[in-house]
C-alpha cells in the first residue's frame, strides 16, 4: 500500500511539474507572440509615419516649385513686358529733348509715349490681378469665382455652370484665396489637359463645412497611374487642401470626364 501511495504521489507530482512546465511554455509562447505582434505593429506604424513624412516632403517641394515658377513668370513679365515698354518710353522722352523738332514729330513722339504708358499700366494691372485678384480682395470669394467663370464663358468655346448656396465669411479671406487658386488650377487642367467644353462648379453647406463640387466633360485620366498623381498642379492643389484642413476626392476615367469634391 505504501508503495502504491508513493507511486501515486510521484505521478501526481509529475503531472503537476508537467502542468507547470506546459503553463510556463504557453506563457513564453504568448509573450513571444505579443512581443513580435507589437514589434510588427510598431514597424508598420513607423513605415506609415515615414510614408506620411515623405508625402509631406513631396507636397512642400511641390509648393516651393510652384512658388518659384510663379516668381520666374512674374520676373519674366516684368522684364519682357513692362521693362521693355519703359525703356522705349525713356528713349522717346529723350527724343523730345532733341533740338529743331517739328510740331508733327513732337506730337508723334508724345502719342507714342502716351500709348506705351497705357499699355504698361495695363500690363502692371494684369500682373497684380494674377497675384491677388482685386475682386476677391474687395468683394469676396463668390464675386471672384463669378468673375472667373464669366471670363471663361466669354471665350465662347467653354460653358461654365456656376451655383453657390453659401455665404462666405469675410474673415476667412486667406483661406478663400487658396480655394480660388484650387478652382483656377482645376479649370486650367480641364481646358489644357482635358479639352473640356463644359464645366460645372457649385458650393454648398454640409455639416457646418463647405463642399465644393467641380466636374468637367473632358477626356479624363486614369487616376490610378502614378503619372496622374505626380503632376505639379495636382500636388499644388493637395498642399492647399492641407492648408485648408480639408479633404478631397477625385473620380476620373479615360473619356469620362473628371469629378472633384473638396470640403473645407
Assigned domain for 254 exists: yes
Residues 117, 142, single domain; the answer is no
Tally of domains in the chain? 2
**pLDDT above 90: percentage of residues in the chain:** 21
pLDDT band at 4 (very low <50, low <70, confident <90, very high): low
Residue 138 sits in the same domain as residue 79? no
125 and 170 part of one domain:
no
Are 149 and 201 within one domain?
yes
Task: Identify the three-state secondary structure at position 158.
Answer: coil
Residue 72 lies in a domain: yes
Which element (helix H / strand E) includes 118? helix 103-131
The string of pLDDT tens digits covering residues 208-237 is: 899 999 999 988 887 666 555 555 567 778
Q: What pLDDT is recorded for position 146?
A: 93
Segments forming the whole domain that contains residue 121: 12-129
Same structural domain, 204 and 231? yes
56 occurs within a structural domain? yes
Domain for residue 179, yes or no?
yes
Sheet holding 198-206, edge to edge: 159-164, 198-206, 209-216, 258-263, 247-252
Does 43 lie in the same domain as 138?
no
Q: Which of 75, 96, 129 is the last residue of a domain?
A: 129
In a domain, 180, yes or no: yes
Q: Are 164 and 99 in a shared domain? A: no
Helix (H, G, I), strand (E, B) or coil at 210: strand
Residue 6 located in a structural domain? no
> For residue 162, what pLDDT is reported?
96
Q: Say how far apart CA 208 and CA 211 lie, in whole Å.
A: 10
Compute the mean pLDDT over every residue in the chain, rounded to the nearest whole number. Answer: 80
pLDDT 10s digits, 24-70: 778 787 777 777 777 778 777 877 777 777 766 666 666 666 666 66
CB contact at 8 A, 162 and 145: yes
CB burial readout 99-116, b (16+ within 10 A) else e: eeeeeeeeeebeeebeeb
Query: 191 with 239, same domain?
Result: yes
Residues 82 and 144 in one domain: no
pLDDT over threshold 90, residue 72: no
Q: What are the CA-CA distances from residue 158 to residues 46, 205, 217, 229 (Å)?
A: 48, 27, 11, 26
Residue 22: inside a domain: yes
Residue 54 counted as domain residue: yes
Query: Which CATH number does the domain housing residue 169 bear?
Result: 3.30.565.10
Amino acid at each position: 500500500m505504501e508503495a502504491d501511495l508513493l507511486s501515486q504521489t510521484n505521478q501526481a507530482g509529475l503531472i503537476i511539474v508537467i502542468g507547470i512546465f506546459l503553463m510556463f511554455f504557453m506563457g513564453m509562447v504568448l509573450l513571444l507572440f505579443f512581443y513580435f505582434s507589437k514589434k510588427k505593429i510598431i514597424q508598420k506604424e513607423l513605415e506609415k509615419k515615414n510614408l506620411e513624412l515623405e508625402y509631406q516632403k513631396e507636397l512642400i517641394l511641390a509648393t516651393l516649385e510652384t512658388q518659384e515658377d510663379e516668381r520666374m513668370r512674374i520676373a519674366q513679365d516684368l522684364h519682357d513686358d513692362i521693362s521693355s515698354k519703359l525703356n522705349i518710353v525713356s528713349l522717346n522722352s529723350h527724343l523730345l529733348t532733341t533740338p529743331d523738332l517739328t510740331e508733327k514729330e513732337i506730337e508723334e513722339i508724345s502719342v507714342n509715349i502716351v500709348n506705351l504708358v497705357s499699355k504698361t499700366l495695363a500690363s502692371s494691372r494684369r500682373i497684380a490681378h494674377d497675384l491677388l485678384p482685386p475682386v476677391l480682395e474687395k468683394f469676396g470669394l463668390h464675386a471672384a469665382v463669378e468673375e472667373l467663370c464669366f471670363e471663361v464663358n466669354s471665350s465662347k468655346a467653354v460653358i461654365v455652370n456656376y451655383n453657390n448656396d453659401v455665404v462666405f465669411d469675410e474673415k476667412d479671406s486667406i483661406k478663400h484665396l487658396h480655394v480660388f487658386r484650387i478652382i483656377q488650377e482645376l479649370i486650367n487642367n480641364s481646358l489644357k489637359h482635358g479639352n473640356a467644353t463644359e464645366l460645372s462648379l457649385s458650393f454648398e453647406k454640409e455639416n457646418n463645412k463647405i463642399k465644393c463640387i467641380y466636374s468637367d466633360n473632358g477626356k479624363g485620366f486614369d487616376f490610378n497611374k502614378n503619372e496622374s498623381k505626380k503632376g505639379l498642379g495636382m500636388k499644388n492643389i493637395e498642399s492647399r487642401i492641407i492648408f485648408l484642413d480639408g479633404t478631397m476626392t477625385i473620380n476620373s476615367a479615360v473619356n469620362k470626364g473628371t469629378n472633384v469634391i473638396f470640403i473645407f
